């Protein structure tokens, strides 16, 4: 006999559900509030929770989040008089099986309860998946075992094999492209293209032709037909990084692609049908952009069907040792050096660091330390960290000169490469802006990019 827990502050609704579900052969326990229900969950097992959304102190979705911390396998149904897209998204993120509007048909509720209980095995599979991800400390190419990253893994697992558009939110350097790729590779589109474009890294005048292509003769220099990235991604996934930088005129054209699944090449007269899943990402407050009028509200809601937030590295400190070890092994192999370990003091230094550049910064720190360290253990003096949010340690003071000396030209090239890449990242791929940050001419920057083999076209 399945054991159900009904949570509702309305006595009449509690009694109605208790009687109706008991007649269906279920064992039913009721609670007037979330606090009482959580205490019951700690004392005995339940197969399904049915809860109201609007309750005093703790609402239904917050209650479900806490309930799943106690009993991860429990199925949940939300009853609400305030159904909305926002409620649906919040409910899905917390793993709600279904939600029903008040005034529901009794037979509909009975069927939903029966379906939820029959799906119980699938929830056990999800718990097994998360346990495996936690034990392996990774999901695909994403590394981490923290609670924040397990939530990311869980949401990837739930939404990957759907066609819903996903918007990945998070600070620069948190690994948004890795998450987008994981969604694609765990979907039915995995054998089709995964196409990446940085909307802030291409001049506005070229971005339209990159996205949608052009017809021969559309403008000077258009000598042949050129397909855009949406055509290239046909049947697969397109990842629009830094979506907040998309200019208004292209926001309109992208909205048409999202709504009608069609677009036209520049200079073209024919509508091209496209089947592409769109994953976008931003490190900016896009809701604020919408309120300011610089980003279309209708496009925002179309792209932000499933929001997925990646926590910054400073909020998941337990992942730092795993990431550091991974990068040490990676760069030891790439540089042909003996595998190194990291000293306790060096690791402690990393654990206490604020990482404004997140995982990307940690990777750069470890790469430099593997290059510079002459022993088989990485020491604190070879970790070049920012002193605080505003200033940095003197790079030259941090580079030791071992007994055997160093290759000055090689070290200077590494420093030059690092500074140029940082400038390009800060300028979101714009060479003109990067040159201004470095106080050199654009021609000088192009020369250095070619010399160092940095492909930023």
What's residue 430's pLDDT? 83
Displacement of CA 387 from its chain's centroid (Å): 28
What's residue 87's pLDDT? 64
What's residue 276's pLDDT? 95
Say whether pLDDT at 295 is over 60. yes
Distance CA 437, CA 130 (A): 44
Q: How confident is residue 399, by pLDDT bands cut at 50, 70 and 90?
A: low
Instruction: Report residue 381 as tokens.
Output: 């003096």
Instruction: Report residue 139 as tokens.
Output: 């999901």
What's residue 456's pLDDT? 53
Distance CA 359, CA 313 (A): 6
pLDDT digits (tens, 9 = 90+) for 170-179: 999 999 999 9
Superfamily (CATH) of domain 3-118: Response regulator (3.40.50.2300)
414 or 251, greater pLDDT: 251
What's residue 366's pLDDT? 93
CA angle 72, 117, 77 (to 5 degrees): 65
Instruction: Give the start-to-end residue ranges of the domains of the chain.
Output: 3-118, 160-311, 313-401, 407-457
Phi, psi of 307 (to 5 degrees): -80, 135
Fold of 407-457: Arc Repressor Mutant, subunit A (1.10.10)
> What are the angstrom distances between the C-alpha of 366 and each of 372, 383, 407?
10, 7, 19
Sequence-distant (6+) residues with CB within 8 A of 405 are none
Look over the chain and give the mean of its residue pLDDT values, rounded to a whole number.
Answer: 85
pLDDT digits (tens, 9 = 90+) for 318-341: 999 999 999 999 999 998 888 788
Cβ 239 vs Cβ 180: under 8 Å: yes
- Long-range contacts formed by 404-408: CB under 8 A, 24+ apart: 404/374
When pLDDT is averaged across residues 132-157 and rounded to a whole number, the result is 86
What's residue 124's pLDDT? 59
Sequence-distant (6+) residues with CB within 8 A of 208 are 249, 250, 253, 266
pLDDT digits (tens, 9 = 90+) for 354-384: 999 999 999 999 998 888 877 788 888 778 7
pLDDT digits (tens, 9 = 90+) for 93-108: 777 888 788 778 888 8
Fold of 160-311: Rossmann fold (3.40.50)
Cβ 100 vs Cβ 112: under 8 Å: yes
Distance CA 80, CA 11 (A): 16
pTM, entire model: 0.63
Q: Do 160-311 and 313-401 agree at the fold level? A: no
Helix (H) or strand (E) holding 43: helix 34-43
390 or 367, greater pLDDT: 367
315 or 429, greater pLDDT: 315
92 or 290, greater pLDDT: 290
pLDDT digits (tens, 9 = 90+) for 199-222: 988 888 789 899 998 888 878 777
Closest alpha carbon to 182 in 243, 233, 138 = 138
CATH (residue range 313-401): 1.10.8.60
């Amino acid at each position: 006999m399945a054991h159900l827990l009904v949570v509702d502050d309305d006595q009449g609704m509690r009694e109605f559900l208790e009687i109706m579900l008991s007649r269906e052969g279920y064992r039913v326990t009721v609670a007037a509030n979330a606090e009482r229900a959580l205490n019951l969950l700690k004392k005995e097992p339940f197969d399904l929770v049915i809860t109201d959304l609007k309750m005093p102190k703790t609402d239904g979705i917050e209650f479900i989040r806490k309930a799943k911390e106690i009993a991860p396998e429990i199925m949940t149904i939300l009853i609400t008089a305030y159904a909305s897209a926002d409620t649906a998204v919040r409910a899905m993120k917390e793993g709600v099986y279904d939600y029903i509007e008040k005034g529901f048909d009794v037979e509909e509720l009975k069927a939903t309860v029966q379906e939820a209980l029959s799906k119980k095995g699938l929830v056990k599979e999800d718990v097994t998946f998360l346990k495996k991800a936690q034990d392996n400390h990774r999901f695909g190419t994403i590394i981490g075992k923290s609670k924040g990253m397990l939530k990311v893994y869980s949401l990837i697992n739930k939404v990957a094999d759907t066609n819903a558009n996903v918007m990945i939110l998070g600070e620069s350097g948190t690994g948004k492209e890795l998450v987008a790729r994981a969604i694609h590779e765990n979907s039915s589109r995995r054998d089709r293209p995964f196409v990446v474009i940085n909307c802030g890294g291409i001049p506005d005048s070229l971005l339209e032709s990159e996205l949608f292509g052009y017809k021969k003769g559309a403008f000077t220099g258009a000598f042949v037909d050129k397909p855009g990235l949406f055509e290239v991604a046909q049947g697969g996934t397109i990842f629009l990084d830094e979506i907040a930088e998309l200019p208004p005129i292209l926001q309109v054209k992208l909205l048409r692609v999202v709504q009608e699944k069609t677009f036209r090449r520049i200079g073209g007269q024919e509508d091209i049908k496209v089947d592409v899943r769109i994953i976008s990402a931003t490190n900016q407050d896009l809701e604020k952009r919408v309120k300011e009028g610089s980003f279309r509200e209708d496009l925002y809601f179309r792209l932000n069907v499933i929001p997925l937030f990646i926590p910054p590295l400073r909020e998941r400190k337990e992942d730092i040792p795993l990431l550091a070890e991974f990068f040490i092994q990676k760069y030891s192999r790439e540089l042909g050096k003996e595998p190194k370990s990291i000293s306790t003091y060096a690791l402690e230094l990393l654990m206490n660091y604020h990482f404004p550049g997140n995982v990307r910064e940690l990777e750069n720190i470890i790469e430099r330390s593997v290059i510079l360290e002459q022993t088989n253990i990485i020491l604190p003096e070879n970790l070049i960290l920012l002193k605080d949010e505003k200033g940095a340690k003197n790079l030259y003071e941090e580079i030791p000169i071992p007994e055997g000396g160093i290759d000055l030209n090689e070290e200077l090239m590494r420093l030059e490469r690092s500074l140029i890449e940082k400038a390009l990242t800060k300028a979101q791929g714009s060479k003109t802006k990067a040159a201004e940050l470095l106080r050199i001419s654009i021609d000088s920057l192009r020369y250095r990019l070619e010399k160092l083999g940095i492909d930023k076209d």
